[in-house]
Chains A and B, each alone.
Chain A
Amino acid sequence: MIAIIDYGAGNIFSVRNALNYLGIENQLTDAVSVIEKADKIILPGVGAFPSAMKMLENKNLVSVLKEQAQKKPFLGICLGMQMLLSKSYEFEECDGLDLISGTVDRIPAQDLIIPHMGWNKLEIQNDCELLKNLPDEAYVYFVHSYMATCQEEKNLSAWVEYGGRVPALITDNKYVFGAQFHPEKSGEVGLQILRNFANL
């Protein structure tokens, strides 16, 4: 069973719809006992970093998520991916879950439209289990104004071009994965990525 963390932010229903469509057992939850029992965890998120972190803190989920991420596959999506990092500078300096070393800053693209919204092509940096069985040209759907920067190159699995390299998929190379894009809105490619996660 995959626990989808329901902390009051964002696109939980889309994620749930996609998992249901794929026949993957899942549960929306903010209960520590369910999170501990789950085989895998998905942390979704839409909105601003500081308020999302505050919501996790208010529900006392920060420590259980950090602990469980050392034990079982854990996928952060969009803001949920950014929250995997050490620190964000969205509005104010704010600590993240620090599961992957790095920071979150505004997309530096100067002459480009922000948010980075639409379909962009994944460029593979390092092989990753979640990228198995994808077509050569794999497009995924993005909506974001801030982006992750990993301290170490080895944590970057895939990026896309948007006024420079924008990290798209990151990993701690153990259990933790973060997708800046929305696999639940990325058509067949996105469904395959979710299937890959479920099969870990």
Chain B
Amino acid sequence: MLAKRIIPCLDVRDGRVVKGVNFQGIKEVGDPVACAAEYNKQGADEIVFYDITASHEGRGVMLDVVRETAKKVFVPLTVGGGIKTVDDIRETLRAGADKVSVNSQAVQNPQLIRDGADIFGSQCICVGIDAKRTKAGNWTVYINGGRIDMELDLLDWVKQIEQLGAGEICLNSIDTDGVKQGFDLPMLKAVVDAVNIPVIASGGAGKLEHFAEAFEKTDCSAALAASLFHFKELTVGEVKTDCRNKHIIVRT
């Protein structure tokens, strides 16, 4: 059986690790390569680097960070932020990433998903989504770090993403991100049920039991968190022990 994955995310700005609350009030801590090595030691199943400034300031991805990490950390690495073209994907994979995560760029140019999947394989293409509940009760997709509502229905978008050949979805809830009250289970369940590709839960983990809860209440494949691990409130190992105690299959 495939194990459920626990994924720490390193939000990186100017080569340093940061994490904001609701995308505001960003605090800075840490060297990304050292953080990745520490997460690897804790048993992280995968590590995500997210260049949080790249998409709206037009910076490229931090290829040197990826290159250095890939020399020391032997679990899959995903890089997101600022990936706009097939050439950006190629460069990122060549630096040592196993997957790229495209977000705003994919909404503005869905063909990027198809081209990336055709050339490099679906398994390399993760589509990151920031979504928020509307007054009407559905969810819509936001871009540029949660700044712009594209008025694109979330469930329509995830089906389109799957059709285009994406290998995975990383679903972040703007409503729960940084709030620490748990993942956005209704949104997560709706997306998992709408597609047949793996879905990573993101945004809202604040306590140990939030991870197991996501796996027990939805069929998501993985759960991601940033600040919780980064500020050492929890370790990846503690999360896995809790999951294992609840009979959820995780990698030892």
Contacts and interface: CB of A to CB of B under 8 A. Distances in A.
Contacts of A120: 1-3
B70 A118 contact: no
B252 interface: yes
A46 B121 contact: yes
A162 interface: yes
B58 interface: no
A118 B5 contact: yes
B93 to A, nearest CB: 9
A185 B98 CA distance: 9
Q: Looking at chain A, what size class is its interface with the partner chain?
A: 20 to 34
A14 B196 contact: no
B172 interface: no
A13 B96 contact: yes
A116 B2 contact: yes
Interface stretch (A61-69, A136-144, A169-177): A136-144
B74 A118 contact: no
A162 B96 contact: no
B3 A161 contact: no
Interface in A117-151: 117-121, 135, 137, 139, 141, 143
A117 B221 CA distance: 10
Contacts of B2: 116-120, 162
A18 interface: yes
Contact of B122 (A17, A115, A116, A137): A115
B3 A184 contact: no
B30 interface: no
A186 interface: yes
A14 B7 CA distance: 20
A115 B251 contact: no
Contacts of A118: 2-3, 5, 45, 198, 221-222
Contact of A117 (B123, B196, B251): B123
B151 to A, nearest CB: 30
B70 A17 contact: yes
B75 interface: yes
12 contacts: A13-B96, A14-B98, A17-B96, A18-B74, A21-B72, A115-B167, A117-B2, A139-B251, A141-B76, A143-B98, A161-B1, A187-B75
